[in-house]
């Protein structure tokens, strides 16, 4: 692994079933890979009648890798990462409509990735993750100024009758914080 380089981006990658942590460990040793990240959280699971909190991937079989497309293209699908591949999205026009049959690797903008990581790291019970996008009605862009989500940037959204901050993560879906008091929000112009 080496330090931050110009041109590095966050790519969404697919790993064979249950291999995302193995891919993360291998990638962190590779030259040209700045970072690899498997978002995880604790979920209640019942085994043999006993309920336990188990650490699981939030987006199973996926991980995020910060590098260049060129570096990753040389690594994926080859030993020791034969089980790792890019996640792709179709080419789109300025209105978001698919054009032709081409496709490009899914790249997550830095601001979305920063907010996503803050959301994952926040110790809150009522966080929401959906694997679909969300249409914001309020559309006010805000920054959380206090609490476990401090620094997260997103849009005001009302879910379950509560004020929350939501972020669409390109190619992934939608995340939402737990309840946030309006006094903890700063509008971004």
**pLDDT by position in tens, the chain (length 189):** 444 567 899 999 999 999 999 999 999 999 999 999 999 988 888 888 899 999 999 999 999 999 999 999 999 999 999 999 999 887 677 666 777 777 889 999 999 999 999 999 988 877 888 877 766 666 688 899 988 899 999 988 888 888 889 888 888 888 888 888 888 888 887
Say how many domains are in the chain.
2
Structural domain span for residue 70: 9-107
- Assess whether 45 and 96 both reside in one domain: yes
User: Is 70 inside any structural domain?
Assistant: yes
- From 87, 107, 127, the end of a domain falls on 107
The pLDDT of residue 5: 63
- From 74, 107, 140, the end of a domain falls on 107
The pLDDT of residue 141: 87
C-alpha angle 89-93-99 in degrees, rounded to nearest 5: 65
- Going by C-alpha positions, the residue among 29, 109, 128 that lies closest to residue 64 is 109
- Assess whether 117 and 99 both reside in one domain: no
Identify whether the C-beta of residue 118 lies closer than 8 Å to the C-beta of residue 39. no
Identify whether the C-beta of residue 81 lies closer than 8 Å to the C-beta of residue 75. yes
Tell me how far apart the alpha carbons of residues 126 and 115 are, in angstroms, rounded to a whole number.
17
Cα distance from N-terminal residue to C-terminal residue, the chain: 37
The pLDDT of residue 135: 65
The pLDDT of residue 107: 94
User: Is 144 inside any structural domain?
Assistant: yes
- Assess whether 101 and 71 both reside in one domain: yes
- Assess whether 55 and 81 both reside in one domain: yes
Tell me how far apart the alpha carbons of residues 93 and 56 are, in angstroms, rounded to a whole number.
36
Identify whether the C-beta of residue 185 lies closer than 8 Å to the C-beta of residue 132. no
pTM listed for this prediction: 0.77
Q: Could you tell me which residues come within 8 angstroms of residue 17 by beta carbon, excluding any fewer than 6 positions away?
A: 61
User: Is 4 inside any structural domain?
Assistant: no
And the tokens for 86? 């890019």
Kindly state the DSSP code that residue 33 receives in the 8-state scheme: -
- Going by C-alpha positions, the residue among 81, 68, 77 that lies closest to residue 29 is 81
């Amino acid at each position: 692994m080496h330090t931050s380089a110009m041109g590095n981006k966050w790519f969404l990658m697919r790993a064979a079933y249950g291999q995302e942590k193995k891919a993360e460990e291998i990638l962190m040793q590779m030259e040209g890979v700045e970072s690899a990240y498997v978002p995880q959280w604790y979920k209640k699971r019942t085994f043999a009648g006993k309920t336990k909190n188990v650490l699981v991937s939030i987006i199973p079989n996926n991980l995020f890798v910060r590098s260049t497309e060129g570096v990753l293209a040389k690594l994926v699908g080859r030993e020791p990462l034969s089980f790792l591949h890019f996640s792709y999205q179709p080419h789109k026009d300025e209105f978001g409509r698919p054009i032709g049959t081409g496709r490009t690797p899914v790249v997550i903008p830095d601001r979305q990735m920063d907010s996503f990581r803050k959301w994952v790291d926040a110790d809150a019970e009522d966080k929401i993750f959906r694997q679909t996008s969300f249409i914001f009605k309020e559309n006010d862009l805000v920054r959380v100024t206090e609490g476990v989500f401090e620094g997260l940037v997103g849009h005001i959204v009302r879910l379950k009758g509560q004020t929350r901050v939501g972020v669409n993560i390109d190619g992934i879906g939608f995340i939402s914080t737990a309840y946030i008091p309006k006094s903890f929000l700063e509008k971004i112009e």
